[in-house]
């Protein structure tokens, strides 16, 4: 067993900063230095009573290197489990850092962890155990992974990772315990730069009790404190540590990113607003014994209040309720863990698995109704679980997944939702079962309708923050697919309808996050519009966003070249109305506009996509009538090259009566003599009209050719059914339809 180098002892140390943040913060005076010694002697008692119960590992993110894999039951898996669950469990009881390797060749495991320098031994152990469980599930069967918690970092690989400062992968994180905005911190930029420079040098080159770790606190004003932290793994102290921390500082591209995690180091800063009371100018000298007695009494009262609050919180949060008990606020059924187990038949039928937990199929007790039961990972914070309940108990809409019940006890966190039998959009787009263009449009309309409801029609506006195909669930009703928006763990409820923007931590899925949100953390409903635009692009192209490219740029380049054939997903086929595709493409392009105020709202998107669907349905109706009546002549009126619209090209000679000239063969515009005395009607999408129009081409005072808009402007694509008296008579009622 390899002993870790440069171990960080986790003995809890009280400094003046710890004390000043405690009970005596509002009673500063020069005579408090002696009194602080009393507080220091009692602090370990307070930390034992409150610390382990109040704190829990706070999960941030993970990354798997999906290159080399291992199999279940392999030697590599055995070595990995031994390292993470046995060896690190023992080490974390005593050390804040450990690296270890076991095995040989393809079965060799290199692993390390390090805890944040201001975390005590008990919390370090809890975090390492949580990290080991998280990474073995999240990166199952991959030979390299890393997981970040607020309290610790853990990584493993099938290659050496010791004494190396690596820049990738990294994680930018917004820590919302402080108050950080560009307006607040821009004025302190010089102070910030000086503070971080000092921290980086101290962490890299100081030979203290905690190598590679440094913290600093600066009073910015009478109402603000800037705290900074820098830390490296102890095996890269010196120049490698300095280089790693400099890289982390460079990656912090905005004030909103208050924490930057790299594999071997991290930086963090927070701005806290505080009220510091100035000491009286000439206070009378108090009696020393009385002063200390008051302090001790205050501490005892605080400890008792903490204990009572913890007991009361446990009963409120975890006290089991009778089976079938109903939430008095929302009418939701609150279930026990035993009921959830019974509903899922002991968790046997898995529908899907994600980073936050597993979704099972089950049935409501005493009913044949199928439900989806989302079992959350107990290691994740309760915040996401409670947030999803808060959102779903507020909403009732046909395009939003319904919450039927939940379970919240020390053993189980579960959400019981309506069952969607066709899975999610992500699987349908990547699977072998292709979606037709009409189905894709309907899914987009349903999703946009659900989001429009959340933004505009709820009592309190809701921004989803994680719109993506995996969170769009599908259900079949009478042979038609219906889409519903799901997964509200990251959603944000706005306090009032007139509040349009909030400063929040940055949450979402890479590739779908609006660029301005990733920079400043300012949240509004246009964030969802951008994410929806990326989803719509995926519906059109069939291409999922990648880590380095979300597909927006290549999609926009395709629009500029008008290369609709190569933009459209090949699985859709070519029997699609190009006018409908172009309309949807324009909507998608407007959604991903880099300027948020130029993006449409979700209600407008619903209207525009409905027009696109109408175009497709009319095209199919026209095609059906044309194919069933060979005397009808389909003539494309496109002011450009006919070859650009292959499905609107002229019918074959076999469809034309013998001896009759085929219209439009010499020009995309039907000659005037062919239009004379004919009962023509046109269906199409004009460049100015917002919906399919019917144009009367017989009107003598109308300018332009058939397909003009009456004001001299021309339409993009118009299909005319030439029904002349030479070919076939059409009743006026039918022509008017």
Residue numbers annotated as active site:
466
Which residue, among 333, 476, 445, 453, has the nearest Cα to 396 in the 3D structure? Answer: 453
Residue 724 tokens read as 């002349």
Helix 578-591 vs helix 437-452: crossing angle, to nearest 10: 30
- How do 403-408 and 333-335 pair as beta strands? parallel
CA angle, 697 as apex, 696 and 698 as ends, to 5°?
Answer: 95
Continuous segment of H or E residues that includes residue 376:
strand 370-376
Cβ atoms 550, 511 nearer than 8 A: yes
Count Cβ atoms below 10 Å from residue 27 Cβ, excluding itself: 14
* Beta-ladder partners of 417: 372, 403
What are the CA-CA distances from residue 8 to residues 207, 209, 214, 549 (Å)?
12, 7, 13, 40
CA dihedral 118, 120, 36, 311 (to 10 degrees): 120
Which are the contacts of 659, defined by CB distance < 8 A and separation ≥ 6?
none
Cβ atoms 124, 8 nearer than 8 A: no
What are the helix (H) ranges across 435-577? 437-452, 515-520, 526-541, 552-560, 564-567
Residue 48 tokens read as 């034992």
User: Cis ω on the peptide bond leading into residue 656 (within 30° of 0)?
Assistant: no
Q: What is the DSSP letter of 283?
A: P
**Distance of alpha carbon 472 from alpha carbon 571, whole angstroms:** 20
Residue 539 tokens read as 């519906």
Residue 161 tokens read as 């990772």
Sheet with 693-695: list strands edge to edge: 633-637, 715-722, 681-686, 693-695
Cβ atoms 638, 644 nearer than 8 A: yes
Which are the contacts of 283, defined by CB distance < 8 A and separation ≥ 6?
29
**Distance of alpha carbon 168 from alpha carbon 164, whole angstroms:** 12
Cβ atoms 175, 266 nearer than 8 A: no
Cβ atoms 55, 49 nearer than 8 A: no
CA dihedral 547, 552, 553, 556 (to 10 degrees): 160
Cβ atoms 218, 189 nearer than 8 A: no
**Distance of alpha carbon 131 from alpha carbon 124, whole angstroms:** 10
């Amino acid at each position: 067993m390899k002993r870790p180098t440069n171990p960080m002892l986790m003995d809890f140390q009280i400094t003046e900063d710890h004390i000043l943040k405690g009970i005596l913060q509002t009673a500063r005076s020069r005579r408090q230095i002696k009194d602080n010694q009393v507080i220091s002697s009692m602090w370990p008692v307070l930390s034992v009573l409150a610390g382990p119960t109040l704190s829990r590992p706070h999960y941030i993110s993970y990354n798997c290197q999906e290159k080399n894999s291992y199999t279940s039951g392999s030697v590599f898996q055995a070595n990995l489990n031994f390292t993470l669950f046995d060896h690190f469990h023992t080490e974390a009881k005593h050390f804040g850092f450990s690296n270890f390797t076991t095995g040989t060749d393809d079965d060799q495991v290199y692993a390390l962890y390090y805890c944040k320098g201001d975390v005590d031994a008990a919390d370090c152990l809890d975090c390492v155990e949580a990290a080991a469980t998280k990474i073995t599930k999240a990166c199952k069967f991959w030979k390299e992974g890393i997981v970040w918690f607020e309290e610790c970092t853990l990584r493993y690989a099938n290659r050496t990772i010791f004494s190396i400062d690596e820049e990738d992968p990294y994680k930018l994180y917004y820590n919302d315990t402080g108050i950080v905005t560009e307006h607040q911190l821009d004025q302190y930029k010089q102070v910030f730069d000086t503070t971080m420079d000092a921290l980086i040098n101290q962490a890299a080159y100081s030979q203290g009790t905690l190598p590679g770790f440094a913290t600093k606190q600066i009073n910015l004003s009478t109402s603000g404190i800037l705290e900074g932290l820098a830390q490296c793994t102890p095996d890269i102290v010196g120049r490698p540590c300095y280089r790693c921390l400099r890289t982390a500082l460079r990656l912090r591209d905005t004030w909103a990113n208050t924490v930057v995690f790299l594999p071997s180091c991290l930086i963090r800063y927070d701005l806290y607003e505080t009220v510091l009371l100035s000491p009286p100018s000439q206070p009378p000298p108090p009696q020393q014994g009385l002063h200390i007695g008051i302090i001790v009494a205050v501490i005892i009262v605080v400890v008792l209040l903490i204990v009572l609050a913890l007991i009361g919180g446990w009963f409120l949060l975890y006290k089991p309720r009778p089976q079938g008990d109903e939430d008095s606020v929302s009418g939701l059924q609150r279930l026990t863990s035993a009921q959830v187990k019974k509903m899922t038949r002991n968790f046997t039928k898995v529908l899907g698995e994600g980073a936050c937990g597993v979704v099972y199929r089950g049935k409501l007790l005493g009913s044949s109704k199928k439900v989806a039961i989302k079992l959350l990972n107990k290691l994740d914070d309760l915040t996401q679980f409670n947030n999803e309940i808060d959102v779903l108990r507020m909403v009732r809409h046909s395009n939003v997944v319904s919450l039927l019940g939940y379970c919240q006890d020390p053993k189980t966190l579960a959400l019981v939702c309506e069952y969607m039998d066709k899975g999610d959009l992500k699987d349908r787009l990547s699977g072998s079962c292709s979606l037709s263009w009409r189905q894709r449009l309907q899914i987009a309309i349903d999703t946009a309708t659900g989001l429009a409801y959340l933004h505009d029609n709820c009592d309190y506006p809701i921004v989803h923050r994680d719109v993506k195909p995996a969170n769009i669930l599908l259900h079949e009703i009478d042979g038609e697919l219906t889409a519903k928006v799901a997964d509200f763990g990251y959603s944000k409820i706005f306090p009032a309808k007139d509040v349009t923007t909030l400063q929040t931590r940055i949450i979402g899925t890479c590739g779908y996050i609006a660029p301005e949100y990733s920079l400043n953390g300012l949240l509004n409903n246009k964030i969802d519009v951008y994410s929806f635009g990326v989803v719509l692009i995926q519906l059109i192209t069939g291409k999922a966003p990648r880590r380095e490219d979300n597909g927006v740029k290549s999609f926009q380049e395709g629009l500029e070249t008008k290369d609709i054939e190569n933009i459209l997903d090949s699985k859709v086929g070519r029997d699609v109305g190009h006018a409908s595709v172009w309309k949807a493409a324009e909507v998608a392009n407007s959604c991903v506009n880099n300027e948020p105020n130029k993006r449409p709202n979700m209600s407008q998107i619903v209207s525009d996509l409905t027009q696109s669907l109408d175009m497709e349905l009319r095209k199919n109706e026209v095609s059906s009538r044309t194919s069933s009546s060979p005397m009808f002549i389909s003539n494309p009126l496109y002011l450009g090259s006919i070859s650009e619209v292959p499905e609107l090209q002229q019918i074959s000679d076999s469809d034309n009566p013998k001896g009759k000239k085929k219209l439009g063969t010499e020009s995309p515009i039907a000659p005037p003599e062919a239009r004379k005395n004919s009962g023509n009607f046109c269906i199409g999408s004009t460049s100015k009209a917002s919906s399919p129009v019917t144009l009367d081409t017989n009107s003598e005072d109308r300018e332009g050719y058939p397909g003009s808009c009456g004001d001299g402007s021309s339409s993009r694509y118009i299909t005319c059914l030439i029904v002349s008296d030479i070919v076939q008579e059409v009743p006026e009622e039918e022509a008017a339809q």
